[in-house]
Amino acid sequence: MAYTELVKNFECIRSYMREFYVYGFKSRDEYEKKSTRTYDNERRRIESYLGDYMAFRQTQNGKNVFLSIDSRNTVHNPLYKALKSKSFTDGDITLHFILFDILHSADIALTLNKITDKIDKEYLSCFKNPMIFDESTVRKKLKEYIMLGMISSNKQGKQMVYSRNESTDLASWNDALKFFSEAGLNGVIGSFLLDKTDKGHEHFSFKHHYITYALESEILCELLKAVSEKRIVTIKNYTRRSDNDKIWDVLPLKIFISVQNGRRYLLGYNFPLHEIKSYRLDFITDVKIGDISPRFCELREKLSEMQEHMWGVYCNKRHTSLEHVEFTVHAGDNEEHIYRRLNREKRCGTVERIDKHTCRFMADVYDTSEMIPWIRTFICRITTMNFSNRTIENQFKRDIEDMYLLYGVGGEE
């Protein structure tokens, strides 16, 4: 098939964009899953959408393509552009603009017959080879727009009439849209709205801003719809441990978002496994919404109880007991901020002062290993530690020894 700038399905380009943005060191030959032609097409598309951010490096293994985006200096997430690349037919676009021109105000209500007649006589008759839209095609398009909430149908006597829904002036929402399109959940929808408004000046910028979340927008949107209706979903999930995607029936309960590691998760009840599990959104490749579950409230309540002992997203019920984590840190005379840091950054557990220079953190969690990166941030002041999971405690201490070696501290490098 000839190359086109637009795509029917977002999934293929999604994985390439992620590779180019997050990693950016692979050459063409290393994209094993797809043919080189697919690679060339996707690279060309991404270059077309994001040319300003595309960069190249020649290495021994070939040319590496990567996306170089500093999200702190970018006021609008550039990855949203890829979500505005859905393909359509000639008929789709022609009918779209003509329909909304015929139904240009919410006061106008017309029958299908009248609309079809107007399309032919008032809009297409001026073209050399006018397109032909029969009633069934127009009805199908109207039905599609009713489903999208842009058009309403009402019975007038025996006939069905169609009218557009009221338009809304969002001029006063400009600042709010600029903020929430970046910092809000499913912000791409705000970006769709901003496309219709006067852009004006940019008064907001964003720090610690993981723009790759854009690539999961469609998956997240379906999951949120399912959560709001308490529906079960069938998800297709990629796992590193297997070549094949897994298919699971899951009741979505809550979305867990990290603003520190660039990942978002679905926490949901897995019916075949009978447990609440986490699924990374960037590993979910398809969502199909199914039936309503009567167990939603009960299971969400259970998850809320579990959250008291979750540092991250791990909540495996098979753990018979919680793991105890305890460590103390030293804070010098002018280091009151260490106590504040512990309190500010803890997600569960308690912080107490033992004496003027020592603070203790304690928590009981499902999985000690989730806490390790955070505890490491206190390296330079950790004085004691006491984990009930001795394996992890020993690993932590070995890692610190490895760091001494790595940087040549107290021995040979």
Partner 1 sequence: MLFNEIYGCYYNTVAKILSSAVKRNLTSDEMKQIICDNAFSESFLTIIPALVNEQWQLLNPELNTPLKHEPTMPLTMLQKRWLKAISLDTHIKLFPVSFDFLDGIEPLFTTEDYVVFDRYNDGDPYEDESYIQNFHLILDAIHRKKKVRIQYESKKGNHRTILCAPYQLEYSEKDDKFRLLISGCRFADTINMGRIKECEIINESTALCIVPKQKNSEFFIMELVDERNALERIMLHFAHFKKEAERISENSYRVKIYYDSDDETELIIRILSFGPFIKVTEPESFVNLIKERLIMQKSCQLK
Q: Which residue, 98 or 284, has its beta carbon nearer to partner 1?
A: 98
Query: From the list 109, 110, 206, 357, which residue makes contact with partner 1 (rule: CB under 8 A)?
Result: 206
Q: Which residue, 186 or 293, has its beta carbon nearer to partner 1?
A: 186
Query: From the list 43, 141, 263, 277, which residue makes contact with partner 1 (rule: CB under 8 A)?
Result: 263
Task: State in angstroms the smallest separation of the CB of 72 from partner 1.
Answer: 6
Q: What is the dihedral of CA 375, 378, 379, 381, to 10 degrees?
A: -130
Beta carbons within 8 Å of 386's beta carbon, 6+ residues apart: 324, 326, 327, 393
Report how far Cα 78 is from the mean position of its chain's Cα atoms: 14
- For residue 310, state whether it binds partner 1 (rule: CB under 8 A): yes
Is residue 227 within 8 A of residue 253, CB to CB? The reply is yes
- For residue 70, state whether it binds partner 1 (rule: CB under 8 A): yes
Q: How far apart are CA 397 and CA 400, in angstroms?
A: 5
- For residue 153, state whether it binds partner 1 (rule: CB under 8 A): no
- For residue 202, state whether it binds partner 1 (rule: CB under 8 A): yes
Q: How far apart are CA 411 and CA 324, in angstroms?
A: 33
Is residue 348 within 8 A of residue 306, CB to CB? The reply is no
- For residue 4, state whether it binds partner 1 (rule: CB under 8 A): yes
Cα distances (Å, whole numbers) of residue 394 to 368, 375, 404: 12, 14, 16
Query: From the list 33, 155, 207, 318, which residue makes contact with partner 1 (rule: CB under 8 A)?
Result: 207
User: Which residues, numbered 178-197, are part of the site for partner 1 (CB under 8 A)?
Assistant: 179-180, 182-186, 188-190, 192-193, 195-196
Is residue 208 within 8 A of residue 259, CB to CB? The reply is yes
Task: State in angstroms the smallest separation of the CB of 98 from partner 1.
Answer: 7
Q: Which residue, 24 or 249, has its beta carbon nearer to partner 1?
A: 24
Q: What are phi and psi of 46, to 5 degrees?
A: -65, -35
Query: From the list 301, 354, 376, 391, which residue makes contact with partner 1 (rule: CB under 8 A)?
Result: 376
Query: From the list 32, 107, 134, 166, which residue makes contact with partner 1 (rule: CB under 8 A)?
Result: 166
- For residue 299, state whether it binds partner 1 (rule: CB under 8 A): no
- For residue 63, state whether it binds partner 1 (rule: CB under 8 A): no
- For residue 143, state whether it binds partner 1 (rule: CB under 8 A): no
Q: What are phi and psi of 266, to 5 degrees?
A: -100, 130
Q: What are phi and psi of 352, to 5 degrees?
A: -135, 150
Cα angle, residue 210 at apex, residues 11 and 223 outer, rounded to 5°: 50
Query: From the list 63, 86, 140, 246, which residue makes contact with partner 1 (rule: CB under 8 A)?
Result: 86
x/- track of binding to partner 1 for residues 28-57 (CB under 8 A): ----------------x--xxx-x---x-x
Query: From the list 140, 156, 234, 257, which residue makes contact with partner 1 (rule: CB under 8 A)?
Result: 257
Q: Which residue, 180 or 272, has its beta carbon nearer to partner 1?
A: 180
- For residue 87, state whether it binds partner 1 (rule: CB under 8 A): yes
Q: What is the CA radius of gyration of the chain?
A: 27
- For residue 354, state whether it binds partner 1 (rule: CB under 8 A): no
Count of residues in contact with partner 1, rule CB under 8 A = 144
Structure tokens, 256: 């867990």
- For residue 83, state whether it binds partner 1 (rule: CB under 8 A): yes
Is residue 167 within 8 A of residue 187, CB to CB? The reply is no
- For residue 410, state whether it binds partner 1 (rule: CB under 8 A): yes
- For residue 104, state whether it binds partner 1 (rule: CB under 8 A): yes
What's the one-letter identity of residue 305? Answer: E
- For residue 353, state whether it binds partner 1 (rule: CB under 8 A): no
- For residue 313, state whether it binds partner 1 (rule: CB under 8 A): yes
- For residue 98, state whether it binds partner 1 (rule: CB under 8 A): yes
Report how far Cα 200 is from the mean position of its chain's Cα atoms: 27
Q: How far apart are CA 56 and CA 68, in angstroms?
A: 10
Secondary element (H or E) of residue 47: helix 36-50
- For residue 175, state whether it binds partner 1 (rule: CB under 8 A): yes
- For residue 1, state whether it binds partner 1 (rule: CB under 8 A): no
- For residue 241, state whether it binds partner 1 (rule: CB under 8 A): no
CA dihedral over 96, 102, 106, 109, signed as positive or negative: negative
* Residue with token string 């998760």: 265
- For residue 279, state whether it binds partner 1 (rule: CB under 8 A): no
Nearest to 207 by CA among 81, 80, 73, 341: 73
- For residue 164, state whether it binds partner 1 (rule: CB under 8 A): yes
